[in-house]
Amino acid sequence: MKIAVIYNRESQKVINLFGQPNREKYGLKAIDRIVNSLRKGGHQAIALEGDKDLIDNLEEFMPRAMVGERPGMAFNLSYGIQGQARYTHVPGILEMVGVPYVGSGPLAHSLALDKVVAKMLFVQNGVPTPEFAVLQDASFEMPRLSFPLIVKPKNEAVSFGLRIVNDEAELREAAQRIFEEFNQPVLVERYIEGREINVGLLGNNTPEAFVPAELNFGEGGPRIYTEDDKKQKSGRTVGVICPAPISPELTAEAQRIAIRAFQVLGCYDCARVDMRLDDEGNLYILEINSLPSLGEHGSYVAAAEHMGLDFPALINRLVEVAASRYFGTPNPPQLGGRRKALDRSVFAFLTERRDGLEKKLQQWVNVSSRSTDVVGIQYALERFGEEMNELGLTPIAEYCDAPHVQAWGTAQGFDNGTLLVGHLDVPFNPVLGAEHFHRDPEFLFGEGVGTSRAPLVSALYALKALRFSRRLKQLPIGVIFYTDEGRDCVESSPVLQRAMQQAARVMVLRPANKDNALILQRRGQRRYRLVMEGAPLKLGQVAAKPDVMRTLINRLDALTSLTSRKERVAVAAVEMRTEAYPRMLPHRAIVTLQVSYPNVRKANELEARMREILSKERATLSLLSDRPALPTRRINEAFYREYRECAEQWQIPIDRASSLWPSVAGLAPADTPVLCGVGPSAQGLYTGQEKVSRISLIQQTLLLAEFLLASHR
């Protein structure tokens, strides 16, 4: 599991610094010890400061989880940065953004930090605690309590401001210091002469109580744990005796009181209850620490060791009890109902390897194979072939036309099976500049990350998951990748068409639209070269016919006017160059025209009208490429419903859409069902800000694997 250890030490990254600052800090050695213990337990752990960057850092480390996937967890050590009820700040943030965490929630922390409210709740619930009073300001009346008394701030921890007073003068002096230094009311309680006993708690419903530990204050100084003791400024060492040398009856009573206090305040997972034991054997709760110190020499750690939990075991046990509280069992929740029969091996494989999935995507983004880069494409083909070989897929010679197309298949081939179709080249406009791989909490960025790389890696990991489940060899699956997407698939189209005729169904590894929308309808696209000739003229020369550029502009206006939203056709000039003799006006213009159409009939009608417009000019119109449309078909609708049913079983949201852009899905025979856009959801395609959704990457990979598994059972 991914676990972020959250602490407060150095960072003051807040919008403004004001209010009561935090004085509690974890040492770096202690933080490292916790992180290393989690790693020993098999977790992926990092340490993060609990400041204003926490949400972004958590999203970066543990992206949004799918339904049924155990999310990452926080191991909360945060004391807060400033203000009131500082222990509640990070738990409140974690609850707001939906990150499970180890330790008590905001309510229990706020009750435990407010010593007066905590003592009131103890009194109401029959939990023994010393008599007390609250001083609101410096003009207080003397409380009706007998000296000696303990004085402390109402809402602080770690013995801040703690002092024993023996008369009114000392009381007023100590209280005044707290009013000035902490700017809060003062808690005064009867001082219990005796021994200090701590009881650690671990778990929930009912928590397990550790054996009591006793603090050994030595011979000199007050018999209380002061702020100077904790900062090692008192000149003495306060030791821990564990187990405390008390009778079995007192041990049981201390444990009972500690558990009751834990329940009264609604704590979770862990706590340490501090008590005093008087000379008559009476126990009194002083306070409950809802965020017990995990310092190496603390009483909580010492008691855990006596219970058989060394430090790594204690830290990992805390994760286990928190996971059990959130998820009910140490494993992710079952998907329930109709999903009980589903094989979870694929799910487990993929969700445990989300980092590997994104790392593989980064590796492929760093492989440059632009459509015009012959060397880069050859390298990408070789590398992808190695990936197929590792999966146990073998080349299918009849569909291999190097360097344009390569195909692989399982031992079953893909006759009456599924053909996955993707491309290795990245259509790229060098004017835009390359985008290096990077990520933010929601998206992964990089050159070709959505158009090519994310669908490619999604297919790779879907096949890896099927191999892990020991089913890949038995499934009829073919994989065919082409390398001329950026050149309109002129060379690859014949081979792709033959392969699609062989398959029972075709899944095109193009990116899904926003919100995981698959493409069920696509426009076709033709590209033409228009060459218009004219006489070579001098600048300013009078001629019977206008120069070629004026004629061209007039004809282009007529051609682009053929665009009709009603007829779903469009014509546009996308590229132009001219030829001219030195110091002469251009006598030849070469224009690339792009045409979008819904079906072949409309395309042919549009071409006839274009030729008619050009018929009276010295012009030639040549077809460069034709990418067929993907029309609406019942067979594809049925395929989509089948795919969607699988998605619903795994609670993966998908939708349907149409697109103005063509794809190789238009090459599929009319009687072969085809789905396009089964890759992860992407945005900004072909731009310098191309990006793919991180949650969609894992969702679509899982869905592809589960569908392949289910459709061939």
Q: Kindly report, residue by residue over 409-433, the tens digit of the pLDDT.
A: 999 999 989 999 999 999 987 766 7
Tell me the per-residue pLDDT of 338-373, one tens digit each, with 9 for 90 and over: 333 446 789 989 988 999 999 999 999 999 999 999
Domain ranges of the chain: 2-99, 111-130+192-327, 347-522+631-711, 526-627
CA nearest 438: which of 137, 138, 695, 692? 692
- The confidence score (pLDDT) of residue 445 equals 95
* Of 124-133, 253-262, 333-342, 675-684, minimum mean pLDDT range: 333-342
Q: Give residue 1's pLDDT.
A: 86
Tell me what pLDDT residue 70 has: 76
Residue 381, SS3 per DSSP:
helix
DSSP 8-class letter at 218: -
Res 642 pLDDT > 60: yes
Q: What is the pLDDT of residue 340?
A: 39
What's the pLDDT at 232?
60
The per-residue pLDDT for 16 is 84
Angle between helix axes 454-468 and 374-391 (nearest 10 degrees) is 20
Q: What is the pLDDT of residues 219-228, one digit of tens each?
A: 766 777 766 5
**For residue 79, pLDDT beyond 80:** yes
Q: Which fold has domain 2-99?
A: Rossmann fold (3.40.50)
Residue 21 has a pLDDT of: 74
Looking at residue 229, its pLDDT comes to: 60
Structure token digits, residue 438: 């990077």
The residue that leads in pLDDT, 591 or 161, is 591
Mean pLDDT of 125-140: 93
Percent of the chain with pLDDT over 70: 95
DSSP characters over 571-585: EEEEEEEEE--TTB-
Distance CA 107, CA 88 (A): 7
- Gap between the Cα atoms of 176 and 613, Å rounded: 96
What is the per-residue pLDDT across 300-325, written as a single tens digit (0 to 9) for each? 999 999 999 999 999 999 999 999 89
As a whole number, mean pLDDT of residues 683-710 equals 94
* Amino acid 332: pLDDT: 37
Does residue 146 surpass a pLDDT of 50?
yes
Distance CA 90, CA 105 (A): 9
Model confidence at 260: pLDDT above 50: yes
**What's the pLDDT at 233?**
60
Provide DSSP, 55-78.
HHHHHHHSPPPPTTSPPPEEEE--
CA distances from 10 to 25, 28, 559, 706 (A): 9, 10, 67, 46
SS3 label, residue 339 = helix
Note the pLDDT tens digit of each residue in 196-250: 999 999 999 899 999 999 998 877 667 777 665 665 665 667 889 999 999 999 9
Confidence of residue 80 (pLDDT cuts 50, 70, 90): confident
Distance, CA of 108 to CA of 266 (rounded, Å):
5
Q: Answer whether residue 519 shows pLDDT above 80.
A: yes
pLDDT at 342: 47
CATH class as words, domain 111-130+192-327 = alpha beta
Match 């009013």 to its residue by tokens.
179
pLDDT grade for 74, boundaries at 50, 70 and 90:
very high
Q: CA–CA separation, 496 vs 155, rounded Å? A: 72
Q: Which fold has domain 526-627?
A: Alpha-Beta Plaits (3.30.70)
Q: Which residue has the higher pLDDT, 32 or 183?
A: 32
Collapsing DSSP to helix, strand or coil, 482 comes out as strand
Report which of 358, 338, 664 is spatially closest to residue 519, judged by C-alpha positions. Answer: 664
Percent of the chain with pLDDT over 90: 75
Higher pLDDT, 178 or 571: 571
Report d(CA 404, CA 412) in Å as an integer.
24
pLDDT score of 58 more than 50: yes
Confidence of residue 13 (pLDDT cuts 50, 70, 90): confident
**Confidence at 637, pLDDT banded by 50, 70, 90:** very high
Mean pLDDT, range 260-284, rounded to an integer: 95
State the pLDDT at residue 634.
95
H helical segments located in 469-529 = 493-502
Strands annotated E in 330-417? 394-395, 405-409
pLDDT at 330 over 60: no
pLDDT above 50 (res 326): yes
Burial class (CB in 10 A: 0-12, 13-18, 19+), 155: buried
Amino acid 221: pLDDT: 65
Beta strands at 149-153 and 405-409: parallel, antiparallel or unpaired:
unpaired
Quickly list DSSP for 119-181: HHHHHHTT-----EEEE-STTPPPPS-PSSEEEEETT--TTTT-EEE-SHHHHHHHHHHHHHH
CATH 3.40.50.620 given to domain 347-522+631-711: no
